[in-house]
Chain A
Amino acid sequence: MHLNRVKNKKISLDDLRVNFHEIEPALTQKEAMDEANRCLYCYDAPCIKACPTDINIPSFIKKIASGNLKGSAKVIMEANPVGASCARVCPTEELCEGACVLNDASLPIMIGNLQRHATNWAIQNNQQLFKAGDANGKSVAIIGGGPAGLSAARELARIGYEVTIYEAKEKAGGLDTHGIVSFRLPQEVSLWEVEQVENLGVKILTNTMVGRDIGVDEILASYDAVILAIGMSKVPMLGIEGEEAEGVYDAIDFVENTKTPPLDHQFIGKKIVIIGAGNTAIDAATCSVRLGAGDVKMVYRRTEAEMTAYEFEYEFAKQDGVEFRWLTQPTKIVTNEHGKVSALECVRMELGEPDESGRRRPVEVPDSEFTIEVDAVIKAIGQSRYVSLIEELGLEHNRGIVKINPETHETSNPKVYAAGDVIFGDGQGDAMVVTAAQQGKLTAHAIHQKFISADKVAVENA
């Protein structure tokens, strides 16, 4: 995100909806052409290598310059089935734009914005970019309709598989639809990507939670392969007193509530504290600001140097007026006589020796207790895992991180594959939408490879 392109920084208290409009304006036609023409069209371009989905970036940019927007959108979406969302949510400074050779010579190309320009064209012109392949008689169930699941579904459907996605929520799209703040990624963009997949004949069964609405055994028995792409679950418990009080929120739920109207007016003028300093914590903070909160603080037990949020997210929150309280550990959520949150008790910390993550371990400073007055507390200290479903499926895992063969994405059950956040952790993968999309793609290809090989063997044996 180019902070200098962010417009309309004013927060409206009369119409909260405007606060959630996409904050970075789309490139104008002229901006897009100027920028596309600036691209050098490198050979063996480093931006491609820096893209987890290997989008042929010089190719799609050249197509923008030549006026071939349909071709451009196709190059993007071919490599990345959620390429319209990624145009907005990818940390491009760390990926394609960070690798652009023009970093050394002038300014990197605004690759994300050009990708948004081309995919916007496809959205606005109702383009169906891909076709389903001729049916090959094989079926695959995908559990979870987020970026990884959609990506796998798209690839499989193009080859000719009959694909069914089981989606627990009312709408598919996963984090892109529910978890990424609207002012960065409007929901309709993600839903367009869902539609692109559905139009290939993929069945998406929404409001259908596996293990609740349909049995695990039935799924395993009814399909030739199963892909587990369930992502991660809620924010874990803090383990402090008062956590169940009214006014304590899970950051994921909090952001999700801002994704679909109506917006909640109860936070106008209120004091909100977010616990945590990752990207989700920043999202909760900046959403709080846009819901009209009068005072938004983030508390983190370590320091600025250890925070896991991207640099541009941190900058963005600072520009939003979010206050940061470093080396602060919440110890108790205090409630008033109505059982509602009224204050957060904290202690000061200092950094000690490095812990197993290599970061310096925060240690409590004796007699440093203090209290922050609050109206709401948002927990954003990471996400827990859907361990019970994983165990019901009988898959090997480590604290909810499903074990896979990294080459094939095959789990301990050879019929079951896994992709996306469900395999993120323990040094495996990245918690990015683009990573999930690539894993979904690779999983689909691996499944197809296995069936092709099996067919060959069958033919040879016949």
Chain B
Amino acid sequence: MADLRVNFAGIKAPNPFWLASAPPTNSGYQVQRAFEAGWGGAVWKTLGDPILNVSSRFAGTSYNGQRVAGFNNIELITDRPLEVNLKEIYETKKRFPNHAVIASLMVEPNQNAWHEIVKRVQDVGVDGFELNFGCPHGMAERGMGAASGQVPELVEKQTYWAKEVAEVPVIVKLTPNITDITATAYAAVQGGADAISMINTINSLAGVDLDSWNTIPNVAGKGAHGGYCGPAVKPIALNMVAECARHPEINLPISGMGGVSDWKDAVEFMLMGAGSIQVCTAAMHHGFSIVEDMIDGLNNYLDDKGIVNLDGIVGKSVEKYSDWGNLDLNYKVVARINNDTCINCNKCHIACEDTSHQCIDMLTDASGKAMLRVREEDCVGCNLCSIVCPVDGAIDMVEIPNGEPMTWNERQAAIKLPV
């Protein structure tokens, strides 16, 4: 039984699975139910000046029948009075003293406003703060959320203001709606943040109704961009976590989120440097009980690998993430088809033939049975066939010895040398 406890920038929790600041953490009732279900922490739905929400707020994207492949929302921060939220935070923390309760905050970019809210909220006993510099819709039109999170100076300044009065760790939550997330991550470092978290949602329009031609979702026939999350955004989030984790001047703990749906996603984020994991869409899709398998699966994974705690995985893949120029140009893999496992759907053939390098032949073996074979000399090792193959184990990408390693950067340096 591995030790799943985390100490994330000084915030302690029984496990790394925290609910992200979002509809699931809107109230004490919900957060307490989540803790009962096993979640290790919760980032309370963003506190600030209460707002008004619209009706019709969420939209899901389906792909080939899979619901909630992506998820889009136009809900704003909490619409409940601050006193009510503070009372429920107090009660929740009292009932679950060992769970992490983190308050997400968002106010206008003003020192007094930040001082006031930080003080009021920490009085009820939260374990930390998460500054919401990421919410992309609605609040951004009022100069908050992503609007301030896209300007490094504002990130730095507001972080600094929060830190001036905060007695508990301050996490800065970053928006992905920016060209280079390490710029704002670095601003958070400069502002004195204790940790960063990412990603907030990505600007999105979920769809357009083919009959009414209304946006999805629509509010009385009108739509506005929302924030996109769910499984579809995982690779984007994972890259941003990894880019921050490998950045030499960003040495803060990272709370990773964006499309984490199960323990395997969580392990990937941890390997890329996330010290805690936040989840929203998966809980909205299936309810709080999904955390049970996240914990169980992570625990079994660590046990199987003989790893005793999360330090054994956090950040372990970061050094493997680099720039393209550092990749070995002489490394070669080729596809090899296992005809015993292959079911002859020919998807690899047509994918290669139409859209890659035309190196998978449809043949007939001596007994007259259809078979597929890769012409390895023409295979560039693109992986496409193994990606479209519906059966595990039917296509292996096999390493072929191919000369001394040589990266692009090494090659360019060698060319520049005088002969």
The 8 Å CB contact of A44, one of B343, B362, B390, is B362
Asked whether, in the complex, the Cβ of A105 is within 8 Å of the Cβ of B390, the reply is yes
Residues of chain B contacted by A101 (CB below 8 angstroms) = 343-345
Residues in A with CB closer than 8 Å to B344 are 42, 46, 101
Digitize B344-380: 1 where CB-to-A-CB distance is under 8 Å, 0 elsewhere: 1111011000000000001000000000000000000
In chain B, residues 294-323, which have Cβ atoms closer than 8 Å to a Cβ of chain A? none
**Contact partner of B345 among A34, A37, A40, CB < 8 A?**
A40
| Chain A residues whose CB sits within 8 angstroms of the CB of B346 once the complex forms | 42-45
Given contacts A42-B345, A42-B347, A43-B345, contact A37 B362 (CB under 8 A): no
Q: Is B391 an interface residue (CB 8 A)?
A: yes
Give A426 to B88 CA distance when docked, in angstroms: 85
A-B contact count (CB 8 A): 36
Please report the C-alpha to C-alpha distance between residue A40 and residue B342 in the assembled complex, in whole angstroms: 13
CB-based nearest A residue for B351:
A43
Of B347, B349, B362, the residue contacting A40 (CB under 8 A) is B347
Closest-by-CB residue of B relative to A33 is: B65
Give CA–CA (A43, B385) in the complex, Å.
13
Provide the bound-state CA to CA distance between A65 and B344, in Å.
Answer: 22
Q: Which residues A4-41 have CB closer than 8 A to chain B?
A: 33-34, 36-37, 40-41
Least CB distance from B67 to A in Å reads 11
Proximity string of chain B (47-71) to chain A, C-beta cutoff 8 Å, 1 when within and 0 when not: 0000000000000000011100000
Q: Report the Cα distance A37→B65, complex, angstroms.
A: 6
| Residues of chain B having any CB pair with chain A under 8 Å | 64-66, 343-347, 349-350, 362, 390-391
Q: Which residues of A contact B349 (CB under 8 A)?
A: 43-44
Residues of B within 8 A of A41 (CB): 347
Give the number of residues in A that approach B within 8 Å (Cβ atoms): 16
B343 touches A37 (CB 8 A): no
The 12 sampled A-B contact pairs (Cβ below 8 Å) are A40-B390, A42-B345, A42-B346, A42-B347, A43-B347, A44-B350, A46-B344, A65-B64, A65-B65, A104-B343, A105-B390, A105-B391
How far is it, in angstroms, between the C-alpha of A45 and the C-alpha of B349 when the chains are bound? 12
Assess the B350–A43 pair: CB atoms within 8 A. yes
At the interface, yes or no: A454 with Cβ under 8 Å from chain B? no
Which A residues form the contact surface with B (CB < 8 A)? 33-34, 36-37, 40-46, 65, 101-102, 104-105
User: Which of A37, A45, A102, A105 lies in contact with B64, CB distance below 8 A?
Assistant: A37
Complex Cα spacing A43 to B389, Å? 12
Residues of B close to A37: CB separation below 8 A: 64-66
Interface of A is mostly: helix
- Across the interface, which residues of A come within 8 angstroms of B65, CB to CB? 33-34, 36-37, 65
CA distance A105 to B64 in the complex (A): 20
- Other 12 A-B pairs with CB < 8 A, given A37-B65, A105-B390: A37-B66, A40-B347, A40-B390, A42-B344, A42-B347, A43-B346, A43-B349, A44-B350, A45-B346, A101-B343, A101-B344, A101-B345
- For the complex, give the distance between the alpha carbons of A45 and B66 in Å: 24
Residues of chain B within 8 A of A45, CB atoms compared: 345-346
Q: How far is the CA of A44 from the CA of B391 in the complex (A)?
A: 18
B167 CB, nearest partner CB in chain A, Å: 53
CA distance A41 to B64 in the complex (A): 12
CA distance A61 to B66 in the complex (A): 17
**B-chain residues with CB within 8 Å of residue A36 when the two chains form the complex:** 65
- In the complex, A105→B390 CA distance in Å? 9
Contacts of A44 in B (CB 8 A): 346, 349-350, 362
With A and B bound together, what is the CA distance between A441 and B64 in angstroms?
Answer: 34
Closest residue of chain B to A35 (Cβ to Cβ) is B65
Tell me, in angstroms, the Cα distance from A44 to B348 when the chains sit together.
Answer: 12
- Bound-state CA distance A46–B346 (Å) is 10
B390 / chain A contacts, CB cutoff of 8 Å: 40, 105
| Contact flag A105-B362 (CB < 8 Å), given A33-B65, A34-B65 | no
Complex CA–CA separation, A41 to B347 (angstroms): 8
List the A side residues contacting B391 at CB < 8 Å.
Answer: 105
- Nearest CB of A to B340, in Å: 10
B350 proximity list for chain A (CB < 8 A): 43-44
Residues of chain A lying within 8 A (CB to CB) of residue B345: 40, 42-43, 45, 101
Give, as a whole number of angstroms, the nearest-CB distance from B65 to chain A: 4
- For the complex, what is the distance from the CA of A33 to the CA of B65, rounded to whole Å? 7
Q: A43 — which chain B residues lie within 8 A by C-beta?
A: 345-347, 349-350
Nearest CB in chain B: distance from A413 CB, A = 39
Q: How far is the CB of B168 from chain A (nearest CB, A)?
A: 48
Residues of A within 8 A of B362 (CB): 44
| Cα A121 to Cα B349 with chains together (Å) | 34
A92 to chain B, nearest CB (A): 18
Complex CA gap A42/B65 in Å reads 18
Q: In whole angstroms, how far apart are the Cα atoms of A46 and B391 in the complex?
A: 17
Distance to closest chain B CB from A327 (angstroms): 38
Please name all residues of chain A whose beta carbon is closer than 8 Å to the beta carbon of B347 when the two chains form the complex: 40-43
8 closest cross-chain pairs (CB), A and B: A43-B350, A37-B65, A43-B346, A42-B345, A101-B343, A37-B64, A101-B345, A104-B343
| CB nearest to A62 among chain B residues | B64
A34 to B347, CA, bound (A): 20
Nearest CB of chain B from residue A34's CB, rounded to whole Å: 6
- Expressed in whole angstroms, the minimum distance between the Cβ of A57 and any Cβ of chain B is 13
- Nearest A residue to B64 via CB reads A37
CA distance A36 to B391 in the complex (A): 18
Question: A48: shortest Cβ distance to chain B, in Å?
Answer: 12
Complexed CA–CA distance, A189 and B414 (Å): 75
Tell me the complex Cα distance, A101–B66, Å: 22
Q: How far is the CA of A208 from the CA of B66 in the complex (A)?
A: 55
Q: Which residue on chain B has the smallest CB distance to residue A104?
A: B343
Which among B64, B345, B362 has the greatest number of chain A C-beta atoms within 10 A?
B345
